[in-house]
Structure 1
Amino acid sequence: MRPKILATMLGAFVACAALMSGRDARSDASPGPANAATVYGNIPPDQIEFLSSPERIKSIASSGSPAAIWETLEHGEKVECLECISSIAPLLYDRNAETREIAAWWLRRRIFGVFGPGEVYEQTLKTLQGDADPKRRAYAAEALGEFLAKPGIAACGAALTGDSDPTVRAAAAGALGRLHDDAGGALGKALGDADARVKIAVLGAAPRINGWTGTPAVAKLTTDADALVRRRAVQVLDTLQAKESVASVVLLAKSDPDPEVRLSACHALGTFHDAVARPVLEEIAASDSSTFVRDQARIALRRL
């Protein structure tokens, strides 16, 4: 048997043995330095794959180090540890967004202990639906998006259209984008939300929805009072290649007071490949007050 094949097989054996035993499979733990060299060859010790032990998973949750939490949970993806769940679940409400994300990522991979009655997922649904703290409700919505489970769709749709706090509504919109579902039209309805943060979150989610049908509502936001909403709206129209909105985008490219909006509009006109935009783009390329907008108009003209 070739040495490289043998080394690969030995590496797989060591990893499986560590998983079954729950022991740390670092090169300086289970296989000693000499054995690590045999298994992994000349790979530096700090680059050798290891499996997190249940003890490390439980202890790292209270360390306060996002990097250590990420590393430990990533290497503990397939380590079944029922007693670890109660240590990781509170991280869904950690102040660090990356810690919340990796906690939900790890929890959703559990075979047992997360999705049953009264367990973490059901608790998260209840937090979104009734916790007094809007920050916790927003974090719960984020977690439901990361759990990728169907009950989260209806819960986030209800929060998006009914929660009193715009931060929660925005988080629910983002979660629906992660779930690739508009919750029966809740996302489209939320494009009319009074808060710009919510509209921006919906616009971020819209391109991720399979069979999105809210393009006309997106086009209406090209006249929104908030410049960032207008820019995000035209970027979504660009992504969706919504050629039917060319008239709205031409108006933005020609006369919007914000140069970032005009630039995005020119880019979208290039994407649409509609010759009706040529005269406007030629005018912009010659006379817009922004060098960047003029350059983008010239690029768009080449794409028509």
Structure 2
Amino acid sequence: MSMTTAAETRPAYLADTATGLPIPGEPVFDNPDDTRRHRKQRLAAALRLFGKYGFGEGISGHISVRDPEHHDRFWVNPFGVSFNRVRVTDLICVDSTGQVVHGRHRVNPSAFVIHSQIHELRPDATAAAHGHTAHSRALGALGRLLEPIDQESAAFYGRQTLYEAYEGPSVSMEQGRDIAEKLGDNRAILLRHHGLITVGGSLDEAVHWFFTYDSCAQVQLLALAAGTPQRFTREQAEAAGAGFGDPQLGWFSFQLLWDEIVAEQPDLLEE
């Protein structure tokens, strides 16, 4: 009796990935220098995208990515430089004490206390994105998380948490630690009276989750203003979340944004 394998029964139009989509894998480099350069380029592009899509709010907002060689260090946008103007050469590297070890700019204290603690407590979080967007602030003010009302919001079903404590701007290590602890193993934490943080196994993934969460918050606010949104059942939310919440899909989705911003603003790659 012959055995039929899963590959043989999979329709020809479906790729051999978790989602069935023809998604390539994340690139792997032979040395940390190449990996570092790749991550810094992605970081600069992500910051420009934040600027393009209106996620800037004065000095607020930061994105970090772990250094591939020194795991107690991370790269982050510099204090006082607009998202719309950040280049690879402007990025700074910060160690576990808050010392800038590479770069000519200073670090935002909030960026250090929040991101250093997330990277310490979440070894799997290669990157973290934080911003004070209008939609996340509005949703947080209501004290509500995303509800599973569409496929995109299902990516956060059982993978988000609400942080309700507020003691002013996040500049103390204690508050940064508390945020990181409350994040737990979730991919998003909505900070009431503050903003949104998302994390991922790559910078690409973390930033995609940020974009998706913010757009889902907008959809939910619109739906609530118009009436009573119909939620997925648990089974529907889990099925949608398995697809739209797939980490590889999250990583690949950022590649479309990368192509877009590099074509429009190639100066971001200046080293």
Choose between structure 1 and 2: higher strand proportion.
Answer: 2
* Structure-2-length-normalised TM-score: 0.25
* Structure-1-length-normalised TM-score: 0.23
Question: Which structure has the greater CA radius of gyration?
Answer: 1
Choose between structure 1 and 2: higher helix proportion.
Answer: 1
Specify which structure has the bigger relative contact order, considering alpha-carbon pairs within 8 angstroms and separated by 6 or more residues: 2
